[in-house]
Amino acid sequence: MWNDLGLLVLRVSFGLSMAFTHGLDKLTGYSKQASTFPDPLGIGPEISMALTVFAEFICTLSLSIGFLTRITAIPVALTMLIAVGLIHASDPWSTKELAFLYFAAFLSVALLGPGKFSLDALLFKKKKR
């Protein structure tokens, strides 16, 4: 039970923090920021920002409630890995530390799963024999 409670706290705290501190700002400012958004993968700034909004807002809301948790944690973890390794590569540790902490949290959720206190547990509950 304590592990499941810990996963709930991890999912909700990091998920909602990312969604409402980072993702929502990008979503609401998309039209103003998209043309100048960083494009570390060479796919175009608008597409890069759209994928970042998807990861930082849509995926984090989904994993906060524990819906498709492992799947939705992957885009967020990858986005944070790109932030640490490419966007902030030459920045001091103090600048990239937050992105690294988000990466570690979302990678942990992807590896550990949602826990019992999640929509995944309700929807995809395996019956004991």
Mind spelling out the 3-state secondary structure of 8-22? HHHHHHHHHHHHHHH
In this structure, is the dihedral angle defined by the CA atoms of residues 105, 111, 117 and 119, taken in order, positive or negative? positive
The whole-number pLDDT of residue 113 equals 93
In a domain, 14, yes or no: yes
In a domain, 35, yes or no: yes
CB contact at 8 A, 34 and 43: no
The parent domain of residue 59 ranges over 2-123
Number of domains in the chain: 1
In a domain, 128, yes or no: no
In a domain, 36, yes or no: yes
Q: How far is Cα 93 from Cα 73, in angstroms, rounded to an integer?
A: 24
The whole-number pLDDT of residue 42 equals 94
In a domain, 86, yes or no: yes
For the chain, counts of helices (H) and of strands (E):
8, 0
In a domain, 129, yes or no: no
In a domain, 65, yes or no: yes
pTM of the model: 0.90
pLDDT average per 10 residues of sequence, the chain (129 residues): 95 97 96 94 96 98 96 97 95 96 98 95 77
